[in-house]
Amino acid sequence: MSALSKRNPELFGLIRSLDDLNRTVDEFAAKIGVRVRHFTSNIEGEILDYVHKTANEVDAFLINPAGLTQFGMATRDALMEPGRPYLEVHFANLARWFHSTGTYDDSSIFSFGATGVMEGLRHHGYLGGLLALTLALDDTAFLGAGAPPVPPGDA
């Protein structure tokens, strides 16, 4: 994700940097009245530390696992552990992305624990995902304050 400018615009659209993406997300978040903290790292241990550190401070996570999509089991488990909802987002339609890279297994190990998945909508998926997550967190019968507790390991 730190090399967004090098990505194929047909799959990734016209967002060419993380700063652009973060700004776009922040502008949308302000419109719907939520606050987003951003974190990016190419080092999986730093992502784990961030998830552990913030799990009790946030309502939910929205993650693009990027290069960890198929093998980032530790990150997936760290996200599932606190029982917070997490939404998985990808710029590209994974089936098309994996096809274009010659990898024909298009599965993500993150989807299993995710509350929902957004893919293929370029940066719009971040905005749609943020809106859907916010509505779901306001829904007392789903993820909101009145929702039944999520059993550990079954997020």
Residues that bind ligand DQA (CB under 6 A): 64, 66-67, 69, 90-92, 94, 97
* Least distance in angstroms from the C-beta of 1 to ligand DQA: 7
Q: Nearer Cβ to ligand DQA, position 39 or 139? A: 39
Q: Nearer Cβ to ligand DQA, position 34 or 66? A: 66
* Least distance in angstroms from the C-beta of 51 to ligand DQA: 17
Query: What count of other Cβ atoms lies within 10 Å of the Cβ of residue 132?
Result: 15
* Least distance in angstroms from the C-beta of 2 to ligand DQA: 10
Q: Nearer Cβ to ligand DQA, position 41 or 140? A: 41
Q: Nearer Cβ to ligand DQA, position 82 or 120? A: 120
* Least distance in angstroms from the C-beta of 10 to ligand DQA: 12
Q: Nearer Cβ to ligand DQA, position 67 or 153? A: 67
- Is residue 133 within 8 A of residue 60, CB to CB? The reply is yes
Question: Helix/strand/coil (H, E, C) string of the chain?
Answer: CCCHHHCCHHHHCCCCCHHHHHHHHHHHHHHHCCCCCCCCCCCHHHHHHHHHHHCCCCCCEEECCHHHCCCCHHHHHHHHCCCCCEEEEECCCHHHHHHHCCCCCCCCCCCCCCCEEEECCCCHHHHHHHHHHHHHHHCCCCCCCCCCCCCCCCC
* Least distance in angstroms from the C-beta of 144 to ligand DQA: 28
